[in-house]
Amino acid sequence: MKNLATCTPSEFFKQAVKVKRAAEKWMKDVNFLEIRARFPELVKIEKDMSPEEKEKAFKENRARVKKAGIENAMEIFENAFDKHADETLAILGYCFFIEPAEVDNYKVRDYLRGITDILSDPEVIDFFTSVGQLGLTNSRKASET
C-alpha cells in the first residue's frame, strides 16, 4: 500500500494537507490536548523531609504520574476509537491515500504494516512534528491577543 513514507514528494505534500486538516478537527473532537495536559496533584517534597520521606514522596509522585498517563491515554483511545471512530479512520485512510469511504476495503494488517513504515520514517515524523509545533505556537499566540 502506498503511504506517506513511500509516496513521491508531490503526492506527500498534497496528502499532508488532508491529514493536517482532518487531524486538527480530530484533536478538538477527541479532546486530545486537554486530556494530554491533565497532570495529577503531586506530593510536595519539602526541604526538611528526611531522605527516606523524600524517596517515598518521589516514588508516590512517579506512581501518580504513571497512573494519570495511563488514564489519559485510555480516555484518548476511547474517544478516538469509539466516539470518533469515523474521524480516526479518515486520518488513517489519508495516510494511505485512501478516501474515508474506502477505508473498509482493506485489511487491518495492511494498515498496521504501513503504520510501521510511516512511524519509522524520521523525515515524515519530523515534518508532522514541526507542523504540529508550529500550529501549537500559533494557537498560543492567537489566544494571547
State pLDDT tens for residues 33-61: 999 999 999 999 999 999 999 999 999 99
pTM: 0.76
% residues pLDDT > 70 (the chain): 92
The amino acid that residue 77 corresponds to is F
Domain ranges of the chain: 9-144
Average pLDDT of the segment spanning 15-44: 94
Q: What is the pLDDT of residue 135?
A: 62
- The larger pLDDT score, comparing residue 135 to residue 110, is at 110
Q: What is the pLDDT of residue 59?
A: 97
- On the question of pLDDT at 27 being above 60, the answer is yes
* 113-132 pLDDT per residue, tens: 999 999 999 999 999 888 87
Q: What is the pLDDT of residue 128?
A: 86
- On the question of pLDDT at 28 being above 80, the answer is yes
* 51-97 pLDDT per residue, tens: 999 999 999 999 999 999 999 999 999 999 999 999 999 999 999 99
**How far from chain centre, in Å, is Cα 79?**
12
- On the question of pLDDT at 144 being above 50, the answer is yes
